[in-house]
Chains A and B, each alone.
Chain A
Amino acid sequence: DIVMTQSPDSLAVSLGERATINCKSSQSVLYSSNNKNYLAWYQQKPGQPPKLLIYWASTRESGVPDRFSGSGSGTDFTLTISSLQAEDVAVYYCQQYYSTPLFTFGPGTKVDIK
């Protein structure tokens, strides 16, 4: 089973500053046949369902601001918010959709304003 871990558990960043969240999978989620990393990032605000931000590790979902970016390959991934805005306060989850048990989520990282 692929286990997803995230770090840090929470972070507080000043408005306009960079926020970086790390995600690590216990096994590679890179599928060699198509060279795609089966890794997504979601944002969840209180009382709302999750929202897809990034898929294939680095492809931004339509309508997502370009201050959000994803990077990494294999087992190590990063979500970066280049200039934190007040509306970015949320919990962020990574998810692998490579292997059974399908679609394991990371434990989440809470982002707040400093």
Chain B
Amino acid sequence: EVQLVESGGGLVKPGGSLRLSCAASGFTFSSYSMNWVRQAPGKGLEWVSSISSSSSYIYYADSVKGRFTISRDNAKNSLYLQMNSLRAEDTAVYYCARAADGNLYDAFDIWGQGTMVTVSS
């Protein structure tokens, strides 16, 4: 079964750091671009970051640029999001999502269940 499972969320103080992980299974992870999307409580979807299959191309939303770092370990079938200098407005459910045909410019066909990040003092 094709599956993505996020972990690493939790409660963190403003200015703190957190590292999210996304474990992939059931498909050849190294062949697919991957993405992070977040959703603040009661709000819509916001794309956060994307990484190509070989990590050659990496993109960030302006709202997280300079604070978040996306990375992947194809040997471990894992995607990561290092989040630094966290702010209250980063509070959201964070989803990892697969690019449908592997390319960076693709719809997202597989999503994880999400992990909640709460930034509060």
Q: Which residues of B sit under 8 angstroms from A102, Cβ to Cβ?
A: 47, 50, 59, 104-105
Distance of A100 Cα from B57 Cα, bound (Å): 13
Q: Which residues of B sit under 8 angstroms from A101, Cβ to Cβ?
A: 47, 59, 61-62
How many of A's residues come within 8 Å of B, CB to CB?
25
Residues of A contacting B: mostly = loop
Rounded to whole Å, the gap between the CB of B106 and the closest CB of chain A is: 6
Rounded to whole Å, the gap between the CB of B9 and the closest CB of chain A is: 14
Rounded to whole Å, the gap between the CB of B59 and the closest CB of chain A is: 5
Distance of A44 Cα from B95 Cα, bound (Å): 13
How many of B's residues come within 8 Å of A, CB to CB?
22
Q: Does B100 contact A (CB under 8 A)?
A: yes
Q: Which residues of B sit under 8 angstroms from A106, Cβ to Cβ?
A: 44
B105 near A98 with CB under 8 A, answer yes
B44 near A100 with CB under 8 A, answer no
Q: Does B112 contact A (CB under 8 A)?
A: yes
Q: Does A30 contact B (CB under 8 A)?
A: no
Distance of A108 Cα from B113 Cα, bound (Å): 19
B113 near A49 with CB under 8 A, answer yes
From A42, A49, A50, name the one whose CB has the most chain B CB atoms within 10 angstroms.
A49
Contact with B along A55-93 (1 / 0, CB 8 A): 110000100000000000000000000000000000101
Q: Which residues of A sit under 8 angstroms from B45, Cβ to Cβ?
A: 42, 44, 50, 93, 95, 105, 108
Q: Which residues of B sit under 8 angstroms from A61, Cβ to Cβ?
A: 109
Rounded to whole Å, the gap between the CB of B99 and the closest CB of chain A is: 9
Cross-interface CB contact of A93 among B44, B104, B113, B114, cutoff 8 Å: B44
B107 near A97 with CB under 8 A, answer yes
Q: Does A28 contact B (CB under 8 A)?
A: no
B35 near A103 with CB under 8 A, answer yes
A interface with B by C-beta (< 8 Å)? 38, 40, 42, 44, 49-52, 55-56, 61, 91, 93, 95, 97-98, 100-108
Of the A-B pairs whose beta carbons lie under 8 Å apart in the complex, a sample of 6, sorted by A's number, is: A38-B105, A40-B107, A50-B111, A52-B100, A95-B47, A95-B107
